[in-house]
A and B are shown apart, each in its own frame.
Chain A
Amino acid sequence: MKSFFLPQSLCLFFTSTVVAIDFDKEIRPIFQEHCIECHGEKKQKGELRLDAKPFALKGGHAGAAWVAGDFAKSPLFQRITSTDDEERMPPKGEALSPEQIAAVKAWIESGAVWPENLADRAAAVDKRLQHWSVQPVKVASALAETFGLKTELLSIDSFIKASLSAKGLMMSPEADRRTLIRRLWFDLVGLPPTPERVDQFVRDTDPRAYETLVDELLASPHYGERWARHWLDIAHYADTHGFERDQLRPNAWRYRDYVIESLNADKPYHEFLREQIAGDVIRADDQKALIATGFLAAGPWDFVGQVETKSDMLKRAARAGDLDDMVTQVITSTMGITINCARCHDHKLDPITQQEYYSLWSVFAGVKRGEREVNATESKRLAAEKVRLSDAIAQARTKIAKLTGEGFELASLIPKDSGIDLRNGSITKDKLGYFRDIAANKKVSVPSVPSALSVFLPNGPAPIPATSGHFWDTIANRPLNGQRSTTLGDTDFAIKGHTMLAMHANSAITFDLVKLREQSGLVAMRLTGLVGFGVSKEAAASRADFTVLMDAELKFQKLKLRKDETAVLDIELPATAKTLTLIATDGGDGINSDLLFIGDPKLVPKVTETRSTKAEALALKSLRAEAQKLESELKALPEPAKVFAIVSETKPPVVKVQRRGNPEDEGVEVVPAAFAWAKHAPVALGDNTTLEGQRRRALAEWITHPDNPLTRRVLVNRLWHHHFGQGLVTTPSDFGLGGDKPSHPELLDWLADEFLKSGWSLKHMHKLIVMSAAFRQQSGLGFSRTAAAKAAATLDSANRLLWRQNPRRLDAESLNDAVLAVSGTLNPAMGGPGYRDFNYTEAYAPIYDYITPDKPELWRRSIYRFIVRTTPHEFLSTLDCPDPANLTPARVNTTTALQALTLSNNDFMLQQARHLVTRIEKETDSRAAAIRRAFALAFQRDATATELQAAIPLVTEQGLFALCRMLINANEFVYLD
C-alpha cells in the first residue's frame, strides 16, 4: 500500500481523545451504507466482507482490516482517509464525512469492539453445512415418526404413495407379465428372456412367481456382467492408456473380472470400496484385494508426459493431471461430490477448500499406475525356474556343439520365441514397440542368460557410431516385431536347421567368452554368421551399421549397410579373449526399417575336430533329447500373472498447494486429510511421515464409515437410477449444492438405512427395489384413458413422483448383447482377456482398425470388449456408449440418423440377422412358423394379425433375412416399456 499524506483538515483526528463508541449505533450503519455493496454477501472485493463479524475479523487478501487500538496502522482507516482517488474508499460517490471518519478512528482506538448481534451469529454458521446431503442419514425409526407410522410399515411404496397422494395422484397399475419379465431381465442381467421363459412366467400361477424370477436373476452370473458395466462407467475403465501413445494394458481385465465376481458374490459394498482403494494394504496376502486396486488405475494416463519427455516441467504437469484424475474418481464415484473445482480455487459452491483438495492428493502422492504382479512369490518362482531351464538348455546345447563340432548357436542363449527387454534385461515373449526413453550406454544385466554380461542401447563413442538413441522391440531369438522377411541371400533363417538373432538398431549385447568357453569346451573359436535386413523389397531405403568388439576392441565394422546388402561375419576369438560385443546402430538416418538380424550366428571351433565314436553318438542322442525336453518345459512355463493396477512408493513426496492449479507455483504444504465439513470421523488421515498404504487405508475407512452421510446415499441412488432410468437425485455423481435435490429425501434415507442394516448388500437392495409396486408399474402414459394419468402428466410431467415406471431405450451394450442373445450366437464364456475386434499395428502411436469378423470369440458379452481410448468403437459410440475418459454416472440418450444407418447396415447387425435366420430355419418347418418364431424371439410375444399380414409379403419377396434384420431394428426391440 502506498504511503498517504493527511490533509490539514484531518489533523484533528489525531488529537482527539479516546471516547467510547457504540458500534451498533455509529459504525455498523456506516459499513451497511457505504461498504457492503462491494464487501458483503454478494461481492467480496479484495476478499473482504464487512457485513458480519466473523468475516470482518478475518480481513481481506492483504490481511486484517484494522489493528485494534492503532488507527494509523489500520488499512480501513488508511483507505477511508486516503486522498488518492484510486485508493480512497468508498470508491464511488462522496468520501465519508469527517464525523464518520472520526467515529471510525475512535472506534479503532477504543479497541474496535464489535458486539455480536443475530446477523453476526447467523453469518458464523456456514449455510453450506446445512445442505441436505451432508446431514446424518435418518434411521427408519426416526422416519417412521415423521410419517406417524410404525417402522415396519415403511416401505418403498409407502414413501412413493405418500408423495403421490399429497398431490392427489396415485401409482399406475402393475404392468403385464410379459412387460415385467422383459423389464427385469434387461434390468438385472442386461439380456432379453427367451420366449419359453416368458411363456413359463406368464402361465405361472404361483403367487411367488415374480419373486422366484427376481431371485433367479440375482443369482445368475449374468447379473455381475450387467452391473459391472455401470460401475466401470463410473471408474472410466478402458484397456489402453489413452493420449498420444495409446498403448495396450493387456492385464487390465483382471480388475474388470474382479468387479464382475464381486458383484456376483454380493460382496458387501463397503468391503468392495475398501478393496478398490486399499486392498493391497488391507489384505496384503489376498490376490483379489490387490487386483481390486485396478480401480485407482482405471483412468487415462499419458505415457509421453509421464515417461518419455525429458522435460521435468512437462512431467510435473502430467503427474498433476494424473493425481487429479485419481482423487476425482475416488471421491466422485463413492461420495458423489465434485472436487476438481478446488484444484484452482476453493470450491465456489461446496464446502471444499483448495487446501483440502491437495490434502487428498497427498493420500495418493505415492501411487502410480502400472503393471503389478498378482502373486510376487509365484512370479519369483517362475523367474527362477526360467533361469534354471535357460541355463540347463544352454549347457546341453554347448555340449552338443562340442560333440558335433557344428559350433554353438548364439541365438539359443535366448529362449526360443523370446527377446531381451532392453529396459531391464528381462526375457519376454511380448513383441515390444518403439522406445525413445532408454538411457544410452547404460549396461543392463540379463539374469536369465548367464553367458550374456549385459545389453545396452549404444550411442557412441567411436568406434561405436553416434545414434538417434531410439530402439524398437527386443534383442530376440525370433523375427522382430514388424519384420517382413527372414531371408538373406537364398537362405530363410526362420526354417528348421537355422537360427537367427534379431537386433534392431540401436541395440548391443555383450557375451562372457570365459563362461561360453567353460560351457562349450571350445578354446580358440570363430564367430560366424550373416548380417542383413529383415525387410521387404518395397520398404523405404534405409541404412544401418553393424559393429563387433572383442575386449572392447574393434574387430569388425560395416557402416551404412544398405537394406539390400548383407555382411559376412567370420571373426577369430583367441583363447585369451574375455568378452564379445555385438552392436547394431541406425546408420545415422533414424531407426525406421532398421530390422537387422544375424542368420546362423555361431561360435565354431577354430579347427574342426571330427568325432565319431559310438559312445559319443549315443551321448549326442540323449543330449538332444534332453535339450528338447528342457525347451518344451521352458515354453510351457506360464508368464507371471499381472494386473494393471498401482505401484506405490512407501514414502510419498510431500504435496503442496498448487496456486491456480499450476504445478510450477507451489504454496503451503499439506498433510493427508479428508474434508473438514464431515463430522462422522476424524479428518486427519495421517501426516507426512505416514506410510503410503496407510494413507489410502485411512481414506477408505473414512469413506466407508457407516456414519459417512454420502457414501450409502450415493450408492442407493445409483441403484435407483438404473432401475428407474432416473435417480431420486437426478445428478447421481453430484450431491453437492450445485446438484439436484432428492425427490423423496425420506425414501433415500430409508434406503440408505436399510442398506446398512443389510450389511451393505447390493442384492438385498436390488430385490427391495424391483419387488416394489413402484418398480412394477406400467410405463405407458395412458393419458387418453384415465383422468388420473392426465392429472399426473400435468402435475408431474417429469415423473419425479413416480406415478408410472419410465420407458427406456437399451444402452449400447445391452442392445449389442440382446442381438447376440436373440440370434442364438451369444458366447457365454466369462472372464479373461477382452476380445479384440480390431487389427492392432504396433507403432510409435499404436493403430487400431476395427473389424467385424463373424467369429464366436467376438460374440461374448460386450463387457468383455477390449476398450481402446483413442479409437472408440464406432458402432457402440454411435449408440451413445460414452468416452472412457469421462466418469459417466448416467448415460445420455440420443436418437440420430447415424444410429439408424449403423443398426440397419453395420456388418455386425447383418451377420447376426443371418444367424437369426439360420436359427429360425433350424427351429421351424414352415414359412408361417418361421415368421411367428422370429417375432417371438425378437419381441418375446406373438405377432399380431396386422404384423403377420405385413411380414408375409416381405418374407415371400425378400426372404426371412429381411424380416430378421428389421425386427432387430424395430423400436420394440430397442425400447423397454
Chain B
Amino acid sequence: MNPNSAFPCGQREQFVTRRNFLWELGGGLGGVALAAMMNEAQAAANPLATKAGHHSAKAKAVIQIFCPGGLSHVDTWDYKPELVKRQGKPFDVDGKLQFFASKPGNCQQSWWPFRQHGECGRWISDLFPKLAQRVDDMAFIHSMQSKTALHGPAMFMANSGFILPGFPSMGAWVTYGLGSVGDDLPAFVVLPDPRGLPPGGVINWGAGFLPAIHQGTTLQTDVEKPPIADLFPSKNFAHLRGKTEQASRDFLQTLNRAHAAERPGNSELEARISAYELAARLQLSAPDATNLRGESDATKQLYKFDHEDIGTFGRQCLLARRLVERGVRFVQIFCGAENTGAKKIRPNWDSHEDIIRDHGYWGPILDTGAAALLTDLKSRGMLESTLVMCTSEFGRQPAAQGAGKGRDHNAGAFTAWLAGGGIKGGTAYGSTDALGFKAAENPAYCYDLHATALHLLGLNHEKLSFYNNGINRRLTDVHGHVIKEILA
C-alpha cells in the first residue's frame, strides 16, 4: 500500500486467515510441508510469537500510565504565567462558551506554584515534586487535543484512536504487530486501579475486531484472587491441584492426540494441544511474576509499598517493571477508576468541584509511583528499552467551573509525557495558548502520540493495518505523524 496516500483507508490488504495460510502451506504435503505445519501449529498455539517490525526498534516494551477523568495540565505540566496575571478576571467575557457541565467562571491560576527543574529547566508544579526530579528523562507534548470532551468516547479515542467503541486498543495493535518477547505471560497486560474500572470499562483494552488473543489480560493483585482469571480452579474446587491436574491433563492430551491423528493436516487441533501445554506453563509463571515478596526493602520503600493510598498504585508500577522484565510487551496501568462511590474524593482526576481535594489526593499517588518506576527502570538499565508514557483522555479548563474550586473538561488542550525507549529527555513539543485553553503551536492528537510510540517500537503506523468490514483499519485512522522532535 501507499503510505503517502491521503486516504489509506481506501486500500485493502487481503486478510489471510490462519487456516487459509495453512492450507496454502500444506499444499505440497510432503515431509517438509508437514514439518513446517507442525512448526506453524506451535506458532498458532502462540500467535504472539515475536514478529519483526517494519524497522529497527528503540523500545522493546511499553508501560503506559493512564490517568482517567481528565488530568489538569494547567495545575501540573503546563506553566501559564499569563493565567496568574489574569487570576480572578472573567474568562469568557461575552458569555458565549458552554463547557461540558457548566458556563466558565473566572480565570483560575494553578492551585500549586510552578518551579523550574533539572538541567533542562522545565517548569513543573509542586504537585509532582518527585517527577520533577526526573524531568531530564521526560519529553512533554503540551499540545494534545481530543475530539470530544466526554469521558467515554474520549477514553476510547485515547486508547483506540476512535471515539466509538469496538476498535482495537493500542496494546492490542502492538501485540498484533510484534507479538510477545516471551511466551510465559500474556503479551498485553492491564493493571486497572484497584478502586474500579475506568470510564468505558473493560473495552478500553479490548481487541475490537482483532483476534481475541490481542485483548489486554487483566492481572489481579488482590491476594484473594489468582493473578489471571481462571488460572486455577476457584476455592470451590480447591482439591484440583498438583498431581490430580497432571493426570487429567495427560488424559486430555491422549484423547486430543488420538483425535488429531485421525485428522491429519488440521493444524488447529495441534494448536489447541499446545495451548493446554502453554496454559500449564502460565500457571507457574504468572504467580511468580505477581509475587512481590522477593523485592528488596529499598524497592518497596521507593514505591511506597505500605502507604494506604499511594501503595496500591506503587505496587502496580512495580508489577509493571517485573512484567516487562519477563517479556511482556505492553503494560497499561490505570491511575484512577470511574465507578466507585465509596469516598467523597473523586475516584479519578475528574475534579469538577475541588481541584485541591481531588488532584491533591491523586497527585502524590501518580508522582510517587511514576517517579519510582522511572528511577527503578533506569537503575536496572531497562529505561533505554522501555517506553514509559503517561496520558489522560483530555485536560481541564483554565477557568474555574462556575463559582467553585473545580475545573470543567477541556478537549482543546492537555499534556502527555513520554520517557525512556528512544525518547529525548528534557524536551517538549507543541504548546497551548497563553491560558492553556487550546493547543496553539503544533497541535497534536492521540494519533501522533500513537504513531510516535509505534515508531519507537519499530512499527510504521501507516502499515500496521487490519481489514474489517470493507475498510483497512489502523490505530491512527487516516491521521498521525511521528513526533520526531522528541526522539533521541
- Which residues of chain A have a CB within 8 Å of any CB of chain B? 236, 242-246, 300, 302, 304-305, 309-314, 317-318, 321, 325, 332, 337-338, 340-341, 345, 347-349, 436, 468, 540-542, 589-590, 592, 731, 733-734, 736, 738-739, 780-781, 783-784, 790, 793-794, 797-799, 807, 809, 841, 843-847, 869-872, 874-875, 877-880, 882-883, 885-889, 892-902, 904-907, 910, 944, 946-947, 950-951, 954, 957-958, 962-963, 965-967, 969-972, 974-975, 977
24 residue pairs of the A-B complex, CB under 8 angstroms, read: A236-B166, A243-B200, A246-B201, A305-B152, A314-B100, A314-B150, A348-B10, A349-B10, A589-B344, A592-B341, A733-B470, A783-B264, A797-B22, A847-B197, A872-B202, A882-B209, A895-B45, A895-B271, A897-B279, A897-B281, A905-B237, A910-B237, A970-B255, A972-B255
Within the complex, which residue of B20, B101, B148, B344 is in contact with A798, where a contact is CB–CB below 8 Å? Answer: B20
A541, B197: Cα distance in complex, Å: 25
A739, B45: Cα distance in complex, Å: 29
Q: Which residues of A contact B186 (CB under 8 A)?
A: 898
Is the pair B471, A885 in contact by a Cβ cutoff of 8 Å? no
Chain B contact residues (Cβ within 8 angstroms of A): what range?
35 or more
Name the distance in Å between A60's Cβ and chain B's nearest Cβ: 16
Q: Which residues of B contact A468 (CB under 8 A)?
A: 353
Chain B residue nearest to A780 (CB atoms) is B263
B119 interface hit (Cβ, 8 Å): no
Is the pair A905, B98 in contact by a Cβ cutoff of 8 Å? no
Q: Which residues of A contact B44 (CB under 8 A)?
A: 895
Would you list which residues of chain B between 1 and 52 have a CB under 8 Å from chain A? Answer: 7, 9-10, 12, 19-20, 22-29, 44-47
Stretch at the interface among B74-82, B106-114, B211-219, B312-320: B211-219
When A311-B99, A311-B149, A847-B196 are in contact, do A971 and B10 touch as well, CB less than 8 Å?
no
A305, B210: Cα distance in complex, Å: 27
B379 interface hit (Cβ, 8 Å): no
Within the complex, which residue of B98, B149, B165, B340 is in contact with A243, where a contact is CB–CB below 8 Å? Answer: B165
Within the complex, which residue of B29, B150, B251 is in contact with A305, where a contact is CB–CB below 8 Å? Answer: B150
When A310-B98, A892-B209 are in contact, do A843 and B275 touch as well, CB less than 8 Å?
no
Chain A residue nearest to B164 (CB atoms) is A321
Chain B residue nearest to A902 (CB atoms) is B230
Is the pair B344, A341 in contact by a Cβ cutoff of 8 Å? no
Name the distance in Å between A324's Cβ and chain B's nearest Cβ: 8
Minimum-distance CB pairs A-B, first 10: A870-B201, A348-B10, A338-B470, A885-B166, A797-B23, A244-B152, A243-B152, A885-B165, A900-B279, A897-B278
Q: Which residues of A contact B276 (CB under 8 A)?
A: 897, 900, 904, 969
When A783-B265, A896-B212 are in contact, do A883 and B166 touch as well, CB less than 8 Å?
yes
Q: Which residues of B contact A302 (CB under 8 A)?
A: 150, 152-153
Is the pair A794, B27 in contact by a Cβ cutoff of 8 Å? yes
Name the distance in Å between A296's Cβ and chain B's nearest Cβ: 17
Q: Which residues of A contact B197 (CB under 8 A)?
A: 847, 870-871
Name the distance in Å between B403's Cβ and chain A's nearest Cβ: 10
Would you list which residues of chain B between 257 and 290 have a CB under 8 Å from chain A? Answer: 258-260, 262-266, 268-269, 271-273, 275-276, 278-279, 281-283
When A895-B275, A902-B230 are in contact, do A799 and B269 touch as well, CB less than 8 Å?
no
Residue from A246, A809, A875 whose CB has the most chain B CB atoms within 10 Å = A246
Within the complex, which residue of B165, B271, B353 is in contact with A869, where a contact is CB–CB below 8 Å? Answer: B165
Is the pair B27, A900 in contact by a Cβ cutoff of 8 Å? no
Is the pair B152, A962 in contact by a Cβ cutoff of 8 Å? no
A846, B230: Cα distance in complex, Å: 25
Is the pair B469, A887 in contact by a Cβ cutoff of 8 Å? yes
B339 interface hit (Cβ, 8 Å): yes
Is the pair B247, A954 in contact by a Cβ cutoff of 8 Å? yes
Is the pair A304, B150 in contact by a Cβ cutoff of 8 Å? yes
A481, B345: Cα distance in complex, Å: 21
Extra A-B contacts (11), CB below 8 Å, given A302-B150, A305-B150, A794-B28: A348-B9, A845-B338, A847-B197, A894-B212, A898-B213, A898-B217, A901-B230, A910-B240, A950-B254, A967-B255, A971-B256
Name the distance in Å between A917's Cβ and chain B's nearest Cβ: 13
B206 interface hit (Cβ, 8 Å): yes
Per-position 1/0 for B189-205, Cβ under 8 A of A: 00000001101111100
Q: Which residues of A contact B483 (CB under 8 A)?
A: none
Is the pair B27, A793 in contact by a Cβ cutoff of 8 Å? yes
Q: Which residues of B contact A540 (CB under 8 A)?
A: 342-344
Is the pair B469, A338 in contact by a Cβ cutoff of 8 Å? yes
A318, B151: Cα distance in complex, Å: 12
Q: Which residues of A contact B299 (CB under 8 A)?
A: none
Q: Which residues of B contact A590 (CB under 8 A)?
A: 344, 353
Is the pair A797, B26 in contact by a Cβ cutoff of 8 Å? yes
Q: Which residues of A contact B292 (CB under 8 A)?
A: none
Is the pair B200, A895 in contact by a Cβ cutoff of 8 Å? no
Would you list which residues of chain B between 356 and 387 have a CB under 8 Å from chain A? Answer: none
Q: Which residues of A contact B23 (CB under 8 A)?
A: 793, 797-799
Q: Which residues of B contact A313 (CB under 8 A)?
A: 98
Q: Which residues of B contact A310 (CB under 8 A)?
A: 98-102
Chain B residue nearest to A784 (CB atoms) is B264
A309, B100: Cα distance in complex, Å: 5
A325, B197: Cα distance in complex, Å: 26
Name the distance in Å between A789's Cβ and chain B's nearest Cβ: 9
A666, B28: Cα distance in complex, Å: 58
Is the pair A898, B203 in contact by a Cβ cutoff of 8 Å? no
Name the distance in Å between B380's Cβ and chain A's nearest Cβ: 28
Within the complex, which residue of B29, B206, B470 is in contact with A872, where a contact is CB–CB below 8 Å? Answer: B206
Is the pair B470, A736 in contact by a Cβ cutoff of 8 Å? yes
Q: Which residues of B contact A799 (CB under 8 A)?
A: 23
B482 interface hit (Cβ, 8 Å): no
Is the pair B469, A734 in contact by a Cβ cutoff of 8 Å? yes
Within the complex, which residue of B98, B201, B273, B275 is in contact with A311, where a contact is CB–CB below 8 Å? Answer: B98
Chain A residue nearest to B255 (CB atoms) is A970
Chain B residue nearest to A736 (CB atoms) is B470
Is the pair B344, A244 in contact by a Cβ cutoff of 8 Å? no
Q: Which residues of B contact A781 (CB under 8 A)?
A: 26, 263-266
Q: Which residues of B contact A951 (CB under 8 A)?
A: 251
Residue from A734, A870, A875, A947 whose CB has the most chain B CB atoms within 10 Å = A870
Q: Which residues of A contact B26 (CB under 8 A)?
A: 781, 783, 793, 797
Name the distance in Å between B213's Cβ and chain A's nearest Cβ: 5
Would you list which residues of chain B between 129 and 160 have a CB under 8 Å from chain A? Answer: 147-153, 155
Chain A residue nearest to B147 (CB atoms) is A317
Is the pair B153, A305 in contact by a Cβ cutoff of 8 Å? yes
Is the pair A242, B165 in contact by a Cβ cutoff of 8 Å? yes
Is the pair A341, B10 in contact by a Cβ cutoff of 8 Å? yes
A317, B153: Cα distance in complex, Å: 10
Q: Which residues of B contact A906 (CB under 8 A)?
A: 230
Within the complex, which residue of B28, B163, B208, B213 is in contact with A321, where a contact is CB–CB below 8 Å? Answer: B163
Is the pair A845, B339 in contact by a Cβ cutoff of 8 Å? yes
Q: Which residues of A contact B213 (CB under 8 A)?
A: 894, 896, 898
A846, B202: Cα distance in complex, Å: 13
A900, B197: Cα distance in complex, Å: 26
A879, B212: Cα distance in complex, Å: 8
Name the distance in Å between A687's Cβ and chain B's nearest Cβ: 30
Is the pair B339, A883 in contact by a Cβ cutoff of 8 Å? no
Is the pair B266, A807 in contact by a Cβ cutoff of 8 Å? yes
B233 interface hit (Cβ, 8 Å): yes
Name the distance in Å between A944's Cβ and chain B's nearest Cβ: 8
Chain A residue nearest to B103 (CB atoms) is A310
A325, B469: Cα distance in complex, Å: 14
Chain A residue nearest to B210 (CB atoms) is A892
Residue from A244, A314, A348, A793 whose CB has the most chain B CB atoms within 10 Å = A244
Is the pair A244, B199 in contact by a Cβ cutoff of 8 Å? yes
Is the pair A883, B165 in contact by a Cβ cutoff of 8 Å? yes
Q: Which residues of B contact A734 (CB under 8 A)?
A: 469-470
Q: Which residues of B contact A318 (CB under 8 A)?
A: 150, 153
Name the distance in Å between B402's Cβ and chain A's nearest Cβ: 10
Residue from A332, A798, A974 whose CB has the most chain B CB atoms within 10 Å = A798
Within the complex, which residue of A300, A843, A905, A963 is in contact with B339, where a contact is CB–CB below 8 Å? Answer: A843
Is the pair B165, A895 in contact by a Cβ cutoff of 8 Å? no
Is the pair A846, B212 in contact by a Cβ cutoff of 8 Å? no
